[in-house]
Amino acid sequence: MQGLIDHGVAGLHHLNKGHIDCMDSNYKIYFGLGQHLTLINTPEVFKVSVAGIKLGNYLTHTLAPDIPNRSFLDIGTGSGVHALLIRALGGHDIIATDISEKSIDQARLHEHINFNQAKISFLVSDLFNNIAGRKFHTIVFNPPGWRTPSPSLLQRLKAIELPGEIPIESMFYGEQVITRFLEDLPQYLEPTGKAIVGLNSLVGIRDVLSRYNQRHNGAPPLVYKLAERHTLPLLYYSANWKACRKHLTKEFEHWSSQDLATYCIDHNGNIYWSYEIIEFSLRTI
């Protein structure tokens, strides 16, 4: 929570108080253009992080004024934050999915809290599995940001896993999920559509993109460009994962030594990573 304030993300204020209070379970996020959302913090559902706020800000900056005529898919919606923001900005045709049923329940509740009436289709789905046959103008994905844990880290994470914490899949296995996402994406994009994806440098962006290019012999069906980049402090997201801090740091070191992750450490030992908002569209030539 502290990192949100320190890194200039204004507008995350808890309800009724107008200041940050970690004990509160409600929080309010402001994205610009007068758009804000009220969300409930539940341990099983990924709480909107600084990166999620940056992605929301980017959507607010860039989505065209003809948003009511466009179709949207928010994959890995978590709390529903970006689908709800798109609705607040005028979107009518919005589907949001998550592999976690608890997230989908929570996202539905958030739509009710913020808009009273249901309009967004919230579905449990592993990536595109339950949305066959549709194409979208804009697909948003803020995927899990860390790589697949090693067997020893996984064992530690499982050993301290308590019921009611966010699942490991919320943040780990990122390179596998993004790889599958990129392979499926072309068939779900309208010809002029784009996917707005927020990648964490602890997922191994170079590795994921270069393997993507290699699989398609240097001419993949998608082209991409970096739209924005932010350096953000590492958060541990759950008390359990924070308890594994030492082992997580070792894991990051190992990934980095193999050029599978990028980050830096300040003189106090704090880790900073790069959040990269990348736009993918269909290759035309």
Q: Pattern of binders to ligand SAM over 45-64, x per CB under 6 A?
A: -x-x---x------------
* 107 lines the binding site for ligand SAM (CB under 6 A): no
- Give Cβ neighbours of residue 60 (< 8 Å, ≥ 6 apart): 31, 32, 33, 35, 85, 89
Provide the Cα torsion 139, 140, 146, 149; round to 10°: -50
**Cβ distance to ligand SAM smaller for residue 167 or 221:** 167
**Cβ distance to ligand SAM smaller for residue 100 or 281:** 100
**Alpha helices for the chain (secondary structure H):** 2-6, 50-62, 81-88, 101-115, 151-159, 174-184, 205-215, 239-243, 245-257
Cα 129 to Cα 98: distance, rounded to the nearest angstrom = 11
* 77 lines the binding site for ligand SAM (CB under 6 A): yes
205-264: contacts with ligand SAM (CB under 6 A)? none
* 142 lines the binding site for ligand SAM (CB under 6 A): yes
Please list the residues that pair with 224 across neighbouring strands: 280
Considering only CA atoms, give the Rg of the chain: 18
**Cβ distance to ligand SAM smaller for residue 86 or 244:** 86
* 78 lines the binding site for ligand SAM (CB under 6 A): yes
The answer to whether the beta carbons of residues 182 and 212 sit under 8 Å apart is yes
The least distance separating ligand SAM from the CB of residue 24, rounded to whole angstroms, comes to 18
Q: Pattern of binders to ligand SAM over 165-204, x per CB under 6 A?
A: ----xxx-----x---------------------------
33: left (phi over 0), alpha (psi -120 to 50) or beta: left
* 98 lines the binding site for ligand SAM (CB under 6 A): yes
The least distance separating ligand SAM from the CB of residue 114, rounded to whole angstroms, comes to 15
Strands 263-265 and 271-282: antiparallel
The least distance separating ligand SAM from the CB of residue 219, rounded to whole angstroms, comes to 27
Which one of residues 35, 100, 148, 201 is an interface residue with ligand SAM (CB under 6 A)? 100
How many of the chain's residues bind ligand SAM (CB under 6 A)?
25
Per CB under 6 A, residues contacting ligand SAM are 46, 48, 52, 75-79, 81-82, 97-100, 103, 126-127, 142-145, 169-171, 177
